[in-house]
Structure 1
Amino acid sequence: MERLPKIGIPLIIGVIIIIIVIAKSAVTISSGEAGVLYKRFGGGVVTDEPAMGEGFHIVAPWNDVFIYEVRQQSLDESMKVLSSNGLDIRLEASVWFEPEDANLGKLHKEKGEDYITRLIKPAVRSATRAVVGRYTPEQLYASKRESIQSEMLEETKNLLQNQFVQVNRILVRDISLPETIKMAIERKLKQEQESLEYEFRLEKAQKEKERQRIEAEGKAKANSILSASLTDKILQEKGIQATIKLSESNNSKVIVIGSGDSGMPIILGNQ
């Protein structure tokens, strides 16, 4: 009976140690995440093996696992940059990015867990300054948003080449100009629109005038051809044909066969 406590205490201590070891060794990686293994006595960060995937893993209790989100993420940036003529432009953009799963160990070793602040933000801001600096405020205010997005994406990809991250897309949410510049651009655009409208009306009036001239020339030419073709004989023949048709009509009439001034038969009605 006296031996039981002596045996029970080490057993309890052993069970506690085992539980602690298992707790330290068990790693659960959630959906959309991956783990980077750090071997404390085996060379540090593992970079020559794939990252640990989703699920339950057992690692040595003296090692560590750093978990990264490997799904596409979004970063919202608000930046103040200069246009080509030195005016302040405020631009708001969203960046869609994700770490390269195959190079997650290298990303952790060289850039660290705070790679978004250290790597992606500076690259996006530098690319934005470079791209916006190529355009005037008028171009930025008008229809250059698609071009700016494409160029910003290309510039950012070049800056982040071989940096173990992938930028999928950059969306420009808003471009804000100084109020005075914005009003001046709006006035200019309005004047250009009015000028285009006036030119359109002039062109339309000119086309209508040309249409009427061509129509009048066509009628005059047709009348000229018709007048030249109507000889006395043809007119007399047409008159005879008309008289015959009238004589065959069911209407009550008196037909006098004779010759009028033009040599045509005379038809008198029953009145």
Structure 2
Amino acid sequence: MKNLRLLPVILLLGIMLQSCAVVRPGEAAVKQTLGKLDNRVYVEQPVWYFPFTTRVIKTSIQTNNLELSLNIPSKEGLSINSTISILYRIDSENVPQVIRTLGLEYESIVANVFRSASADVCAQYFAKDMHSGMRSEIEQQIKERMNATLYEQGLIIEAVLMKNIQLPPGLASSIERKLQAEQDAMRMEFVLQEERQEAKRKIIEAEGTRDAQQILSEGLTPQILELRRIEAFLELSNSNNAKVIITDDESSVLISD
């Protein structure tokens, strides 16, 4: 009899356990009652529902990484083999819309939208641009085109990353030779610039020396030279030591005692 009394309690606990769904971090959930999808979104919380008429649909709202390997066209008509990573997520507020329009298997839709967007964007660039600093510009344009298609449907493209770009062997060698030639030209320009600066410095130094000599020669007139000679003789005559001063016929002669 005692076990029979506990039976309803056990059944009630079982129904309660089956009537609760736990939405974990990184997930979002919505209720579907008799086939009709509710617009309320549940995030990181328990969700109570009546299991006989209602079910809880959960999906991830974390950032997903979709990696693709495909050939993309270039402006000159070449086919470039590339590995692409697409980072995307569901906007938590638009989970009901995503489930209604795209369903939970939306990865193939993202891949198809990328193929279309990448073909349109990459066809505007040369193959060498995908192997240079313009890669980030190409990635940004592909991302914008994908968001233009998917954002209104509840999917957000966070980044498009072109990781491995494999150019045709002949083109890759040509690009490497061109880049090496550009680096050599830049290095030579740097050396020439240093030599020009050194030559300018020497010219300025030579002009300064010449100007100083010119100023000095222009300032030493015969009268000044004679005055300097007299001053020198006077200084010598004031000395207590015995001395003999000899000059030529054109110079002044000072005889000391």
Q: Gaps (5+ residues) in structure 2? A: none
Instruction: Trace 1:131-150 onto structure 2 (pairs within 5 A).
Output: 131-150=121-140
Count of residue correspondences: 254
CA contact (8 A) 1:33 1:68 kept: yes
The amino acid that maps onto 1:22 is: M
**CA displacement at 1:106 relative to structure 2:** 1.0
Q: Are residues 1:86 and 2:77 paired?
A: yes
Counterpart in 1 of 2:12?
Answer: 18
Residues 1:130 and 2:120 are matched in the alignment: yes
CA distance in 1, matches of 2:238, 2:104: 108
Task: Give the Cα separation in 1 of the matches to 2:208 and 2:75.
Answer: 58
Query: For each residue in 1:91-147, what CA deviation from the matched residue of structure 2 results, as whole angstroms up to 9, or x when unmatched?
Result: 2333332211111111111111112222x2222332222222222122222221222
Q: Whole-Å Cα distance in 1 between the matches of residues 209 and 30 of structure 2?
A: 90
The correspondence for 2:163, drawn from 158, 161, 173, is 173
1:39 aligns with 2:33: yes
**Pair 1:188-2:178 in alignment:** yes
Change (3 A) 1:115 1:224: same
**156-165 or 205-214, which moves further after superposition?**
205-214
* Deviation string, structure 1 residues 39-93 (Cα, Å, up to 9, x no partner): 11xx61113x3x1222222101121111111233333333320111111212233
Q: What do the CA deviations read for 1:185-231 (whole angstroms, capped 9, x no partner)? A: 11122223323434444454445445444443443343233222211
2:106 equivalent in structure 1: 115
AA partner of residue 39 (structure 1): T
TM-score w.r.t. structure 1 length?
Answer: 0.78
Q: How far apart, in 2, do the equivalents of 1:181 and 1:168 lie? A: 32
**Alpha carbons 1:29, 1:56 under 8 Å: kept:** yes
Distance (Å, rounded) in 2 between the aligned partners of 1:242 and 1:96: 93
The 1:132/1:261 distance shift into structure 2, 3 A limit, reads: farther
Aligned to 1:153: 143
Letter in 2 for 1:36: V
Alpha-carbon distance in structure 2 between the residues aligned to 1:124 and 1:188? 32
Q: Deviations over 1:121-179 (max 9, x none)?
A: 22233222222222212222222122223222222222223111222223332322122
Q: TM-score, normalised by structure 2?
A: 0.82
Question: Which of 37, 40, 55 lines up with 1:64 in the alignment?
Answer: 55
User: 2:87 maps to what in 1?
Assistant: 96
Q: Bigger CA drift: 194-203 or 65-74?
A: 194-203
Letter in 2 for 1:45: L
Contact 1:38-1:45 at 8 Å conserved across structures? yes
- Offset of 1:35 from its aligned partner? 0.6
Amino acid at match of 2:66: L
Out of 95-104 and 165-174, give the one that drifted further: 165-174
Give unmatched runs, 5+ long, in structure 1: none
Structure 2 CA distance for aligned equivalents of residues 189 and 254 of structure 1: 83
Helix, strand or coil: the match of 1:151? Answer: helix
CA RMSD of aligned residues (A): 3.2
After superposition, the C-alpha distances for 1:227-249 in whole angstroms (9 at most, x for unaligned) are 22211121233344456667789
Distance 1:227 1:174, change over 3 A: same
Percent identity between the two aligned chains: 28
SS class of match (2:72): strand
Inter-CA distance 11–231: structure 2 relative to 1 (3 Å threshold): closer
